[in-house]
Amino acid sequence: MHPGNGAEGPLTPGLVFEMLQAHQRTAALKAAIDLDLFRAVGEGPGDVASIARHCKCSERGIRILCDFLTITEVLVKEDGRYRHSPTSAAFLDPRSPMSLASIAQFLSNPANREPYDHLAEIVRTGRTTLAGDGSVEPENPIWVQFAETMAPMMAPMAGPLGATVLEGRTGPMRVLDIAAGHGLFGIEIAKQNPQAQVTGLDWAPVLRVALDNAQKAGVQERYDMIPGSAFEVDFKGPYDAVLLTNFLHHFDQPTCVALLKKVHAALKAGGRVATLEFVPNEDRVSPRMAASFSMTMLASTPAGDAYTLSELTAMYTAAGFSNITAHPIPMSPHTIVLGSA
Amino acid sequence: MHPGNGAEGPLTPGLVFEMLQAHQRTAALKAAIDLDLFRAVGEGPGDVASIARHCKCSERGIRILCDFLTITEVLVKEDGRYRHSPTSAAFLDPRSPMSLASIAQFLSNPANREPYDHLAEIVRTGRTTLAGDGSVEPENPIWVQFAETMAPMMAPMAGPLGATVLEGRTGPMRVLDIAAGHGLFGIEIAKQNPQAQVTGLDWAPVLRVALDNAQKAGVQERYDMIPGSAFEVDFKGPYDAVLLTNFLHHFDQPTCVALLKKVHAALKAGGRVATLEFVPNEDRVSPRMAASFSMTMLASTPAGDAYTLSELTAMYTAAGFSNITAHPIPMSPHTIVLGSA
């Protein structure tokens, strides 16, 4: 999507034009998901008339939308018919077990989208234009939606996270999952270690989603819950491990250090904390997906950020942790950072 | 911006995630233009504190915005400082004669952006959700803004268009510029042929912009105007040439044919019509920019489209034109299509 402007090409305004129209890409993918277009493409035969019938849409609209999705490399067009690309077959057809269609609901939630209509003001003031503390406002209902819809995006990370935290450790242990959300990370620990007792901590309405998932996984007998704010509730330690997934990035560094100290105090000696984070390189502009996440934090929080490993290490150290190690998860923008109490 | 999913890479959901967040790219570029960030980067020294001072912004906001613009390859970051890429130096620094910053105002006009919030409904019904006929509603004020802000995008096309239409022809001639907008195309004819008399046709408030530009070019003595709708006014022919730039794509084919017949009737025998259009290949999915333009027409008009050369040829032929030839403009998404009356 960067026409021209490569070292190899002549100078053209293609990149500028493409960026000013990039919002069309988001709208097109969201519309296609909402219209059940990817099921229609998967079922075939893939001509405009059949897809339009399935989606109860105009042929003009379907033709132009499918052409646009072909241009953006989501679909493949051949002899006037559309079929899945490997990407759409795996991640967009609702019949696929890896379907990510539900994450569009969270990412296009007005609470997540609206700040971008005021981005200049956000850059000016340095904080979200959302009311209160934005996405980290207490009891913000978006986290129920996150728990309900973003699980498919996070599920592939659960296995590697569980293995990294446990490192083959068996036997009785207690694990606290802070900001549990969908609960998948703590549940994975319970699955990998049949003697692990897991405590999920999150807002009460969110924990209902985690409990549902614990029941589906058959580990609800070993799944306890602490409803409330991680900054306010008693953690009820001591624990062998504390998971702190996709959470630190919402807050400024002093807030993170204070929370990490509270985590440290809730761990047994030698117990470990494990964060799952978007960790950009020290240049803050690579890798692309992890580094881009700072923009999401600028738009939606008062002071959050995608922290570099040196920043996370400094915070861990300030909170009393040692043996700090980073474990990037292959094929994902996430990194696990471990520390020992 | 397509992480993974190339033939060479493993299958990842990077493309899905990137598309669902692509609206961030539009918001970031628009915010940077609005905050005068590209002037600050051009003037240097390019550290966060200096840029924040110039833009009267928070350092957190500027750092994250500049990093995001580096990730999207608009800026370059080196040793913690930001500097122009060739693209931003040429097309985004307001000090550059090629600056396109003003086109962001048109492209982000709510009338252009809002339909994308209802794209599923638009695909369903096959027409814009904008009131009336959307962007082609009579006297729509967006065309004044188009004339005022999109000229830098269109200016590079004027020279090639003028040369293609004139083919070295000199001497007295009359040229009608339908939907003149900024007027640059007709004005270019007047510049290339000092004996050409040009008539601009557009809504009266738009023609004020064209007249301003004719005066700046010193050709106002040879610039007449017909205010009103191209479908309703008397063209006051006969003409040697009629320009029909960026216009046919707003309408369905029968409407285009009717207009082309009216153009044909206003031309001298052997006179030529010249359209400037986004002309996708017959597959409708390449080249990228021209083919993508159908989406803009879906969102903003009742029945417009980016027409292929075979469709344009059929319309020209139905209106009585012959000798139909296509002339793609190098380094641009536009094609000139000529026909003879």
Q: Which of B66, B67, B73, B96 to mutate to test the interface with A (most CBs of A within 10 A)?
A: B67
Interchain proximity B22–A25, CB inside 8 Å: yes
Q: What is the pLDDT of residue B136?
A: 87
CA dist A206 and A142 (Å) reads: 9
- The shortest CB-CB distance from A104 to any of B2, B20, B27 is to B20
Give residue A7's pLDDT band: very low, low, confident or very high (50, 70, 90): very low
For residues B176-188, average pLDDT = 97
Alpha helical stretches, state H, chain A: 14-20, 23-34, 37-43, 48-55, 59-71, 86-91, 103-107, 110-113, 119-125, 142-149, 151-166, 184-192, 204-216, 253-265, 288-300, 309-318
Q: What is the pLDDT of residue B7?
A: 47
* Chain A residues inside the 8 Å CB shell of B15: 73-74, 87
- Please answer whether residues A75 and A84 qualify as being in contact, where contact means their C-beta atoms are separated by less than 8 angstroms: yes
Interchain proximity B26–A22, CB inside 8 Å: yes
For residues A93-103, average pLDDT = 93
**Phi and psi of B236, rounded to 5°?**
60, 45
Q: Report strand pairing: A334-340 vs B75-78.
A: unpaired
Beta bridge partners of residue A275, listed in sequence order:
A244, A337
Beta bridge partners of residue A325, listed in sequence order:
A338
How many residues in total does chain B contain? 341
Region of poorest pLDDT, from A129-133, A187-191, A307-311, B326-330: A129-133
Give residue B9's pLDDT band: very low, low, confident or very high (50, 70, 90): low
- The shortest CB-CB distance from B120 to any of A35, A296, A331 is to A35
Rounded to an integer, what is the distance from CA B284 to the centroid of its chain?
Answer: 19
* pLDDT of A294 above 80: yes
Tokens of B101: 């910053």
How many residues in total does chain A contain? 341
Q: What is the pLDDT of residue A140?
A: 87
| pLDDT tens track for A215-272 | 999 999 999 999 999 999 999 999 999 999 999 999 999 999 999 999 999 999 999 9
Interchain proximity A67–B294, CB inside 8 Å: yes
With pLDDT > 70 as the criterion, what percentage of chain A qualifies?
97
Tokens of A182: 């969908």
Q: At what angle do helices A151-166 and A184-192 cross, to 10 degrees?
A: 40
CB count in 10 Å sphere of residue B79: 7
| pLDDT tens track for A20-33 | 999 999 999 999 99
Region of poorest pLDDT, from A26-40, A93-107, B7-21: B7-21
Q: B236: distance to nearest CA of chain A, Å?
A: 36
Interchain proximity B92–A67, CB inside 8 Å: no
- Please answer whether residues B38 and B48 qualify as being in contact, where contact means their C-beta atoms are separated by less than 8 angstroms: no
- The shortest CB-CB distance from A72 to any of B19, B27, B77 is to B19
Q: What is the pLDDT of residue A76?
A: 98
**Residue labelled with tokens 């942790």:** A321
- Please answer whether residues B135 and B301 qualify as being in contact, where contact means their C-beta atoms are separated by less than 8 angstroms: yes
| pLDDT tens track for A269-286 | 999 999 999 999 999 999
Q: What is the pLDDT of residue A292?
A: 97
| pLDDT tens track for B201-226 | 999 999 999 999 999 999 999 999 99
Measured CA to CA in angstroms, residue B189 lies from A37, B167, B192 at distances of 47, 11, 5
User: How would you label B204-239 residue by residue, b for 16+ Cβ within 10 Å and e otherwise?
Assistant: eebbbbbbebbeeeebeebbebbebebeeeebebeb
User: How would you label A270-291 residue by residue, b for 16+ Cβ within 10 Å and e otherwise?
Assistant: ebbbbbbbbbbeeebbebbbbb
Interchain proximity A57–B126, CB inside 8 Å: yes
For residues B170-176, average pLDDT = 97
User: Which positions ≥6 away from B148 have C-beta within 8 Å?
Assistant: B102, B182, B209
Q: What is the pLDDT of residue A122?
A: 98
CB count in 10 Å sphere of residue B139: 12
- Please answer whether residues A242 and A218 qualify as being in contact, where contact means their C-beta atoms are separated by less than 8 angstroms: no
CA dist A208 and A190 (Å) reads: 18
* pLDDT of A63 above 70: yes
* pLDDT of B12 above 90: no
Mapping DSSP to helix (H, G, I), strand (E, B) and coil, where does residue B213 land?
A: helix
Q: A183: distance to nearest CA of chain B, Å?
A: 21
* pLDDT of B4 above 50: no
Measured CA to CA in angstroms, residue B246 lies from A109, B215, B223, B257 at distances of 35, 23, 20, 15
Q: What is the pLDDT of residue A111?
A: 84
CA dist A245 and A22 (Å) reads: 30
- Please answer whether residues B28 and B22 qualify as being in contact, where contact means their C-beta atoms are separated by less than 8 angstroms: no
Beta bridge partners of residue A274, listed in sequence order:
A243, A338
- Please answer whether residues B142 and B301 qualify as being in contact, where contact means their C-beta atoms are separated by less than 8 angstroms: no
* Chain A residues inside the 8 Å CB shell of B73: 2, 5, 15
Mapping DSSP to helix (H, G, I), strand (E, B) and coil, where does residue B166 land?
A: helix
Q: Which amino acid, one-letter code, is at B256? A: C
| Average pLDDT over all residues of chain B | 94
Can you tell me the ipTM of this complex?
A: 0.94
Q: What is the pLDDT of residue B123?
A: 98
Interchain proximity B24–A123, CB inside 8 Å: no
Q: What is the pLDDT of residue B2?
A: 41
pTM: 0.94
- Please answer whether residues B183 and B216 qualify as being in contact, where contact means their C-beta atoms are separated by less than 8 angstroms: no
Nearest residue on chain B to A70, judged by CA atoms?
B285
Region for A200 from its dihedrals, namely left if φ exceeds 0, alpha if ψ lies in -120 to 50, beta otherwise? beta
What would the DSSP string read from start to end of B182-197?
Answer: T-HHHHHHHHH-TTEE
Q: What is the pLDDT of residue A314?
A: 98
CB count in 10 Å sphere of residue B53: 13
Q: What is the DSSP letter of A221?
A: G
Give residue A9's pLDDT band: very low, low, confident or very high (50, 70, 90): low
User: Which positions ≥6 away from A280 have C-beta within 8 Å?
Assistant: A286, A287, A290, A291, A293, A294, A306, A308
For residues A143-149, average pLDDT = 90
Mapping DSSP to helix (H, G, I), strand (E, B) and coil, where does residue A89 land?
A: helix
Q: Which of B23, B35, B54, B283 to mutate to test the interface with A (most CBs of A within 10 A)?
A: B23
Handedness of CA A149, A65, B113, B298 (dihedral sign): negative
* pLDDT of B6 above 70: no
Q: What is the pLDDT of residue A160?
A: 96
Interchain proximity A294–B28, CB inside 8 Å: no
**Residue labelled with tokens 């072909």:** A70
- Please answer whether residues A108 and A30 qualify as being in contact, where contact means their C-beta atoms are separated by less than 8 angstroms: yes
Nearest residue on chain B to A299, judged by CA atoms?
B61
